[in-house]
Amino acid sequence: MTTYATLGALLRPILMRRTYAFFIVTVLAVIGSDAFAQVASNPVGFVTTAVAAPTTKALALPLDNLPEFTGVVSVINTGASTIQTTNAGWTANQFGAGNFNSTNSNPHIIRMLSGASKGRQYRINGNTTDTLTIVSSPATGFSSVANGDQYEIHKVETLASFFGANGTINGQSLITNSDANVADNVLIRGANNAWTAFYNDGNQWLRGASTASNNIVLLPEQGFLLVKRTGSYNVTVTGAVPITSLVTDLPANSSVSLANRFPVATTLVGLGLDNLPGQPWFKSSDANAADNVLIRGANNAWATFYYDPNLGGPTNGNPGSWVRGQSANQNPSIAVGTSVLIVRHGQGTDIALNQALPYSLQ
C-alpha cells in the first residue's frame, strides 16, 4: 500500500493516485539582495514509478531540481539572447558551458515566473557575473521576455546524473553491457522525429558503438522511454514541485514526447489539446489525418487517440469527442511520472500548450 505525508492542499489531488508515492515538505524561497523577487515557495518531494521487465515504459520527470537562483530581469537583449540581472554575483559559467546536450556536464535552464513568457524555459549556454547567455535555438518566445520579469534557474538532469555514470545510482542498477541489445536502453525523441537509443556499458553512457553520451539531457518537458530487459527498476524522481503554469511547444508536422509535467495524474481530456484557442489541434474523422496522442498501455504497446469532430461528444464544450479506433468518448488516464507521444500530421499550426497549475500552493 502506498502511503503519503502531506502539508496542506497541494497533495489533495495526488492522494487520488495509489500507484505512486509522493512525499512533500516545504522549502522557503531564499530572498536576498535587490536582484531577487518574492515568489511562491518551492515544495519538494519524490515520485517513484516501478518498472518491471520485460517492458518499454514511457516516463517523465515531474519534479525539478531546487532552484539555484531566483531573480528579476534587469536588461533583456533578444538579439544577443542574453539576460542581465544587476548584482547577481554569479561566478563565470556557474550554470554550465559548452554544447548544452553534449559537452556540458552541468546543464541548467531558466524558467520564467512572470510576464508574457511565464511558464516557458530556456537553455543556458553560459554566464558571466551578471549575464546569462541563452541557447538561441530553440528559444521560442524569448522575444517576449521583458525587463522586470521574474525567473528561477534549475539544473537539469542528464543520463549520468539521473541513472548514474555507470548505470547505478541510489542502490538501483540498470542492466549494463557493451552490447546495446543486451543492456537496458533509454530512448529519447530527437529533432528528426525518431527515437535515439542510449545504453550503459558499465562505465559510461553511449550512443551507437562509441559516442559518449553521459551529458545527454532529460528535459522537464520531454518524456523518454525506458527499455527494461530483465529484472525491475524503481524510477525515483526527487525535487521541487513546479510553482507556475508551464508552456510546452508542439510544432506542426512533428512527433514530440510530451511529459506529464506536474506530480499529479491527468487525463487525455485534462491536457486540453482539443480546446486550445484558435483550434490549432487538427481534428478529423480520419486518424491518419488528425493529430494523434499515443499513450503507452499495459500491453506494452501504444494506443492511438484522435479527436473526431463528428462522433460522440461534446468534450470540453466542443462538438465531437476523443476516439480510439471506432470507440468514442475516450478519456484515458495519464499517470504521474509518465509521458505520451504527440504526433502532428502537419494540418494544424504550431501549438504552445500552456498548462495551468493543477494544485494550490496555499
Q: Give 141-188 pLDDT, tens digit per residue.
A: 999 999 999 999 999 999 999 999 999 999 999 999 999 999 999 999
pLDDT of residue 317: 67
Res 222 pLDDT > 80: yes
Altogether, the residues listed in the chain come to a count of 362
What does each C-alpha distance from 85 to 41, 56, 186 come to in angstroms? 21, 44, 37
d(CA 46, CA 139): 29
d(CA 281, CA 307): 9
d(CA 174, CA 231): 9
pLDDT tens per residue, range 9-67: 344 443 333 334 444 443 333 323 334 344 456 789 999 999 999 999 999 999 999 99
Task: Tell me the mean pLDDT in the region 234-257.
Answer: 95
Residue 25 forms beta bridges with which residues?
Answer: 44
pLDDT of residue 19: 36
> What is the pTM for the complete model shown?
0.88
Domains of the chain (ranges; CATH) run 69-156 (2.40.30), 159-218 (no CATH), 246-355 (no CATH)
At 362, the amino acid letter reads Q
24: left (phi > 0), else alpha (psi -120 to 50), else beta?
A: beta
Take residue 179 and report the three cell numbers written for it. 552490447
Backbone angles phi, psi at 274, to 5 degrees: -80, -10
